[in-house]
Structure 1
Amino acid sequence: MGSTSAHNNGGLGRRDVIKRSAALGLITVPTMGFLSACATSGGGDDNDKKTETPKGETSAENPLGVKNGAALEAFIFKGGLGDQYAKDAEADYKTKYKADVKHTGTQQVGPKLTPRFAGGNPPDVIDNSGADHLDMNKLSSQGQLQDLKALLDAPSMDDPAKKIRDVIHPSTLDKGMHGDKFDVLYYAFTIYGTWYSQKLLDAKGWTYPKTLDEMVTLCGEIKKAGIAPWTYAGKFPYYVHFNLFAQIAKIGGIEPWIAIDNLEPKAWTSNDAVKQVVEHYEELAAKKYFLEGSQGLTHIQSQTAWTRNKAVFIPNGSWVENEAAPTTPKDFGMAVGALFDGTGDKMPTGTLRGEPSEPYIVSAKGKNPTGGMELLRIMLSKKHAQNFATKVKSLTCVQDATEGMTLSPGLASASKAVKAAGPNLISLQLQEWYPALTDEKIGGLTGQLLTGDLKAADWIKKTQAEADKVAKDSSVAKFKRTS
């Protein structure tokens, strides 16, 4: 669970917190290397009393009323994007409010913070990303997440005439809702898709395919050239869902996908696009178009195989450029392609999955939630949005922040793909709302599909059964999507 001393748990010993968390059902036993960590404040003792938030005077410069000298604790996921960009924003907070900022960068957000939430002593602001993240749905339903309406209504750092809600991507506002409460700020804007080396394609005379059938044909040519067409993170097969799920929505249309997001009966089995897409993956597996041994690779290992040209394509998000930088040749020409056309598509050629990512939350029961929101306001300035693009080669939710900047190859390709897609950007909720379902249960089935151990028809039937189980499970908080 990570090393957490007694004083960090509001006086509770770490073992007591873990015992209490287990007894309350707050800790989920991880499967397939994924921890769906749930957290709450337990109930009924002194640890559940909310600390009074230190308040300062509000002003044009300090619209949220941060108290001068009020310390801030930030817990930042340190994965593909690193955490320097957050430290840079924290430095501005520290200077502006003459306050100490305690920073923790980690890949184990859930394991380290489950006892903190259970002990009633969570940090103020958290980048809740990575495989081992906290279950935000449970946190929200238990009142642990700060309502961020005050942040949305605050003036932006760059133009006081514009509120924060006016400068961020509209989908960020939609995705951060739990019911009628906006309590998650997805800071990054990630482009998901099929990533490849433009240099390799050019050298071999290959063209990025437009259709699923063209992809199968090209895979045959690639295999004959002695290269694997595809690789993927077999240890975390939900990476494949970044493409697979969006491909279903592209072909079948967003309405049938909304039924999937809403866990409706027969949403998987009655959608012809599901059959079309899953059978495509079954064919790729049957023809052995995946790099041998991919099922045993982590995301880093699969990305390294890809940057070394052992495989041509990889399903991933736009953080990959930064995460794979240590092994990427300078002239690699990293690029991302749009979703493929199938048969009878409801969405046009060029449709792309692009959506808010990197979820930031502020603890309602932290010591300084006002400061947590102010840190996010600082991060949403053009200065820090551009710093993010420079440092981690990724877009933020701040609209038009990178205009006029010279972008890295992968980011330039992603930006071009977004412009080409226009309004045809797909955003999905299933993986955010029900990660245990998608990443563990369906992920396990996808792993079997890609090794040829599960047929498409069985994948669909079993996926529907798993979704039905979640739909009927009263212990899982449910959310409804209308558009």
Structure 2
Amino acid sequence: MSDITGSELDRRTLLRRAAAVGIAATPAVGMLSACVGGGADEDTPEQATGEKSADNPLGIDPKTGIEIVIFDGGLGTKYATDVDTPLYNKKWPDSKVTYSATQEVSTVVQPRINAGDAPDMINNSGSKLMDFGAVVNAGQAQDLTELFAAPSFDIAGKTVAETLVPGAIEQGTYNGKPYAVNYAYTVFGLWYNKALFTKNNWTVPETWADFTALLAKIKAAGITPYGYAGANASYYQVRAILTSAGKIGGEQVLKDIDNLKAGAWKNDAIVKAAAAWAEVGKTYLDKSFLGLKHTEIQLRQNQDKLAFYPCGSWLENEQAKDTPPGFEYAVAPFPSVTTADTLPAAALNAAAGEIYFVAAKGKNPRGGMEYLRTMLSKEAALGFTKLTKSLTVVAGAADGVTISPGLTSANEAVGKAGKDIFMGYLFDTWYKKLDDESRAAANDLMFSDYDAQKFADRMEAAAQAVASDSSVTKFTRS
């Protein structure tokens, strides 16, 4: 996970990293451009080019250097210095890579973009990332169509696009064109200690009936069956509810929510999901968790005082210093709520995040794209995964490689889900008031009133208030 520092802001940032499929914003481009500076024809330096060939599909000048800026957060920077750059220079030894790292991308990079001195490839991440929609609308991000159409760096017979997981390109697409590589791949689900489950002969459930039956067994064993931190991580529970709703009714249920469609929150799939989770909250959730933070809950799980925890695949790396020997992180998809769910039990909420883009007005955008082509090689992706315990969007890059229990489990879950992987929702990124209300409503549902219809009605009212507020910029997801 990007920028894992223990702060809630940085944890939240990861969940906002994936761009929408075909995002379209309603405000004028000029307003967004003002955030970044520079018009389409303004102060573009002479850009390096070379002759295209089978060995040089993007037509880079092999003697011109490139400059990259990497965010120094939870993923570290060694993947860039120890994996990607050496791999790039092995192929292009005369192209010097100038590297720098920062924890304040917008502070360091945005003024340079405004001044016409942009680095060639930028990792836009962290709590001080740039507004990438504004960067795109100002014409400052390179269209990556050629990159994705180019041959893979090291997978014969495939284009770069053909080596990626489903939805990877779409998540970096704005108004029909790809502008970003969303590189890290986050798997969301129910996290548990596989060793504890093996010891007690507990089988990971696929149906809701099996889930609640197992929760009862766990409770009888003196362990809290399920929990999340109500004080600062209630959006984990929002994701659990809405993932279940998406499995019941299909991803269109979540798209309708994002698009502020009237009646979206009252969809039967959402009411059924909320009712199922309310019962879990009423019977199997420790009420003291309402006032606790995520670090406190995660530590309880490391101590085998908590069985199931809803989270993303950054969890294992984040808890590394507190994970005792013998603890084996594993993840399971949220169980099917009904016997007629639209998506199967193995269906998974997973999304690409961690934005990397090429500056359209840098000195060497073709070199920047070639660096990204290097990153999207199988060799670079595996190196990244070994160093960060995070999957990438390069499909199968970590197959057959044992790095850590949680990563292995996440990779296996992705394989089992196959085509039944869905991105989830984006309203929490777009509409802060609606996000805040969903967090409060989820806590009330799970800790106090246990009323699914009240939850749905409350969220519908909040969504329509946003929809009717002309001062709020609206976005559309296709």
Residue 49 of structure 1 corresponds to 42
CA distance in 1, matches of 2:452, 2:137: 36
1:238-258 deviation per Cα after TM superposition (whole angstroms, max 9, x unaligned): 233443222111012233333
In structure 2, the CA distance between the partners of 1:451 and 1:39, relative to structure 1 (3 Å rule), is farther
In structure 2, the CA distance between the partners of 1:109 and 1:454, relative to structure 1 (3 Å rule), is farther
CA distance in 1, matches of 2:98, 2:440: 40
The one-letter code sitting in structure 2 at the alignment partner of 1:230 is Y
Match status 1:284 vs 2:280:
yes
**How many Å apart are 1:377 and its aligned residue?**
0.8
The one-letter code sitting in structure 2 at the alignment partner of 1:208 is V
CA distance in 1, matches of 2:201, 2:70: 46
Residue 477 of structure 2 corresponds to 480
Residue 155 of structure 1 corresponds to 151
In structure 2, the CA distance between the partners of 1:248 and 1:190, relative to structure 1 (3 Å rule), is same
Contact 1:230/1:291 (8 A) holds in 2 = no
Identity of aligned pairs, percent? 32
CA distance in 1, matches of 2:180, 2:113: 17
CA distance in 2, matches of 1:424, 1:45: 41
**How many Å apart are 1:362 and its aligned residue?**
2.8
The one-letter code sitting in structure 2 at the alignment partner of 1:227 is I
**How many Å apart are 1:48 and its aligned residue?**
9.3
Residue 236 of structure 2 corresponds to 239
**How many Å apart are 1:425 and its aligned residue?**
2.0
Residue 10 of structure 1 corresponds to none
Residue 266 of structure 1 corresponds to 263
1:248-298 deviation per Cα after TM superposition (whole angstroms, max 9, x unaligned): 1101223333322332111111x1121122223333333361473464314
Residue 297 of structure 1 corresponds to 293
CA distance in 2, matches of 1:121, 1:315: 43
Residue 78 of structure 2 corresponds to 84
In structure 2, the CA distance between the partners of 1:436 and 1:241, relative to structure 1 (3 Å rule), is same
In structure 2, the CA distance between the partners of 1:33 and 1:209, relative to structure 1 (3 Å rule), is closer
Match status 1:325 vs 2:320:
yes
Residue 221 of structure 1 corresponds to 217
**How many Å apart are 1:340 and its aligned residue?**
1.0
Residue 411 of structure 1 corresponds to 407
**How many Å apart are 1:166 and its aligned residue?**
1.9
Residue 246 of structure 2 corresponds to 249
Contact 1:59/1:65 (8 A) holds in 2 = yes
Question: Which fold has the larger relative contact order, with Cα–Cα distance below 8 Å and residues 6 or more apart in sequence?
Answer: 2
CA RMSD of aligned residues (A): 3.5
Contact 2:150/2:159 (8 A) holds in 1 = yes
CA distance in 2, matches of 1:101, 1:169: 30
Contact 2:434/2:462 (8 A) holds in 1 = no
2:330 paired residue among 329, 335, 343: 335
CA distance in 1, matches of 2:38, 2:423: 41
Residue 387 of structure 2 corresponds to 391
When normalised by structure 1's length, the TM-score is 0.80
In structure 2, the CA distance between the partners of 1:433 and 1:44, relative to structure 1 (3 Å rule), is closer
**How many Å apart are 1:201 and its aligned residue?**
1.4
**How many Å apart are 1:129 and its aligned residue?**
4.2
CA distance in 2, matches of 1:132, 1:215: 40
CA distance in 2, matches of 1:32, 1:451: 26
**How many Å apart are 1:379 and its aligned residue?**
0.6
Bigger shift: 258-267 or 301-310? Answer: 301-310
SS in 1 for 2:47: coil
SS in 1 for 2:196: helix
Residue 23 of structure 2 corresponds to none
In structure 2, the CA distance between the partners of 1:431 and 1:184, relative to structure 1 (3 Å rule), is farther
CA distance in 1, matches of 2:386, 2:95: 27
Residue 173 of structure 1 corresponds to 169
In structure 2, the CA distance between the partners of 1:255 and 1:65, relative to structure 1 (3 Å rule), is same
The one-letter code sitting in structure 2 at the alignment partner of 1:397 is V
SS in 1 for 2:96: coil
The one-letter code sitting in structure 2 at the alignment partner of 1:369 is P
When normalised by structure 2's length, the TM-score is 0.80
1:116-164 deviation per Cα after TM superposition (whole angstroms, max 9, x unaligned): 6666665543334456544433433343432111211222211464321
Contact 1:40/1:139 (8 A) holds in 2 = yes
CA distance in 1, matches of 2:383, 2:412: 20
CA distance in 2, matches of 1:470, 1:124: 38
Count of residue pairs the alignment pairs up: 448
The one-letter code sitting in structure 2 at the alignment partner of 1:51 is T
**How many Å apart are 1:199 and its aligned residue?**
0.9
Bigger shift: 169-178 or 380-389? Answer: 169-178
CA distance in 2, matches of 1:102, 1:229: 47
The gaps in structure 2 that reach 5 residues or longer are 1-7, 18-30
Bigger shift: 176-185 or 363-372? Answer: 363-372
CA distance in 1, matches of 2:206, 2:342: 15
